[in-house]
């Protein structure tokens, strides 16, 4: 099988928000429709809502279609985008995700309070 490594990847799907906690957001997305048989890595970027400046979230290649962005500020709203990359270069960035507020979901917060002595990560 011949693989064309001169074709950049297509646009991945927009990131979906899978969950949040006090300092992170879990994301998932769909891969590009066609990758020409070439392995694809992903670059995940984020910004505070209303900001023009994007920051890279991952320092090492991400090969799966999910990632947790960490080190975020509780109470702030963030947007995310994903770009696929192969040996030919970067493809177009995904559409931007919906903005999400970084916070512990209410149900988890109340659960943590009620059993605090048993929950070391709350």
pLDDT tens readout for residues 25-50: 999 999 998 655 667 999 999 999 99
**What total of structural domains would you count in the chain?**
1
Give me the domain span that covers residue 80.
16-118
Predicted TM-score (pTM) of this structure: 0.81
Position 11 in a domain: no
Which residue in the block uniquely carries the two structure tokens 């900001």?
Answer: 51
Question: Closest Cα partner for 38 from 65, 67, 13, 1?
Answer: 1
Residue 9 lies in a domain: no
What was the pLDDT predicted at 3? 53
Residue 5 lies in a domain: no
- Of 52, 54, 58, nearest to 80 by C-alpha is 54
- Note the pLDDT of residue 33: 81
Q: Is residue 92 part of a domain?
A: yes
Please report, for the domain that includes residue 55, its CATH number. Answer: 2.60.40.10
Structure confidence by residue, pLDDT tens digits, 56-96: 999 999 999 999 999 999 999 999 999 999 999 999 999 99
């Amino acid at each position: 099988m011949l693989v064309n490594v001169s074709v950049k990847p297509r646009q991945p799907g927009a990131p979906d928000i899978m969950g949040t906690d006090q300092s992170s957001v879990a994301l998932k997305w769909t891969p590009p429709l066609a990758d020409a048989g070439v392995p694809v890595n992903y670059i995940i970027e984020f910004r505070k809502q209303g900001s023009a400046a994007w920051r890279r979230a991952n320092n090492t290649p991400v090969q799966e279609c999910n990632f947790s962005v960490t080190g975020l500020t509780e109470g702030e709203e963030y947007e995310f985008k994903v770009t696929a990359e192969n040996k030919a270069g970067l493809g177009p960035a995904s559409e931007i995700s919906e903005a999400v507020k970084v916070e512990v979901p209410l149900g988890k917060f109340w659960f943590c309070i009620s059993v605090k002595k048993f929950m070391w990560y709350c």
